[in-house]
């Protein structure tokens, strides 16, 4: 009763997945702290960062999880996925192998989730236009075929980073409200 009088609380878990070095950690640091690191270590020791945004006048918090580099060993654990209601599946537009891995990441996500997950395919490093290996259309087609949102981003110059996270968080909100 009157659950929204004091303002309902929303806390959503979002995971970032994708091959090593596609820019997952930098997407998160750009979004959460507006920071970018050219020589970021694979392990940053932080499990997740919490970001708030307002939707329909309500405070919505997203707990965004970053791997600690385990993806290099294909050993992202089920604990990482547990309870996730949103996911960013990231590839590097300058490295085709990372795009080819997307299907495997989608499979893994599906295996570990028991609920509706808002999913966004993210082609990161779009600042590297001169060495682009995956066209925008290719990214879009895969996203359409798999029923994912799609966006190209650059953690380096900030292009679409906030947008990508916010679209996912809004979709989660729509899924639960």
**Total residues at interface with ligand GDP (CB under 6 A):** 19
26 binds, among Mg ion, ligand GDP, none (CB under 5 to 8 A by kind): ligand GDP
Q: Would you say 37 or 174 has its CB closer to ligand GDP?
A: 37
Residue 22 within binding range of ligand GDP, rule CB under 6 A: yes
Dihedral sign from CA coordinates of 62, 63, 67, 71 = negative
- Phi, psi for 20 (deg, rounded to 5): -60, 140
Residues 73-132 that bind ligand GDP (CB under 6 A): 124-125, 127-128
Residue 159 within binding range of Mg ion, rule CB under 5 A: no
What is the smallest separation between the CB atom of 40 and ligand GDP, expressed in angstroms?
4
What is the smallest separation between the CB atom of 105 and Mg ion, expressed in angstroms?
14
Three-state DSSP string of the chain: CCCCCCCCCEEEEEEEEECCCCCHHHHHHHHHHCCCCCCCCCCCCCCEEEEEEEECCEEEEEEEECCCCHHHHCCCCHHHHCCCCEEEEEEECCCHHHHHCHHHHHHHHHHHCCCCCEEEEEEECCCCHHHCCCCHHHHHHHHHHHCCEEEECCCCCCCCHHHHHHHHHHHHHHHHC
Residue 26 within binding range of ligand GDP, rule CB under 6 A: yes
Q: Would you say 40 or 49 has its CB closer to ligand GDP?
A: 40
What is the smallest separation between the CB atom of 20 and ligand GDP, expressed in angstroms?
5
Q: Which stretch binds ligand GDP (CB under 6 A): 2-10, 39-47, 52-60, 142-150?
A: 39-47
Footprint on this chain of ligand GDP (rule: CB under 6 A): 20-26, 37-40, 42, 124-125, 127-128, 154-156
Footprint on this chain of Mg ion (rule: CB under 5 A): 24-25
């Amino acid at each position: 009763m009157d659950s929204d009088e004091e303002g309902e609380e929303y806390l959503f878990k979002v995971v970032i997945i994708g091959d090593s070095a596609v820019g997952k950690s930098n997407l998160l640091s750009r979004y959460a702290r507006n920071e970018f690191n050219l020589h970021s270590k694979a392990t940053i020791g932080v499990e997740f960062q919490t970001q708030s945004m307002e939707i329909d006048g309500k405070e919505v918090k997203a707990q965004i999880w970053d791997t600690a580099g385990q993806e290099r060993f294909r050993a992202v654990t089920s604990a990482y996925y547990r309870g996730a209601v949103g996911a960013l599946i990231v590839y590097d537009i300058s490295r085709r192998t990372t795009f080819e891995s997307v299907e495997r990441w989608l499979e893994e996500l599906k295996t570990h989730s028991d609920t509706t997950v808002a999913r966004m395919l993210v082609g990161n490093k779009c600042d590297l236009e001169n060495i682009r290996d995956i066209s925008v259309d290719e990214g879009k087609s895969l996203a359409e075929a798999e029923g994912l949102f799609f966006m190209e981003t650059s953690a380096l110059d900030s292009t679409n980073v906030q947008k990508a996270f916010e679209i996912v968080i809004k979709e989660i909100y729509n899924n639960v409200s």
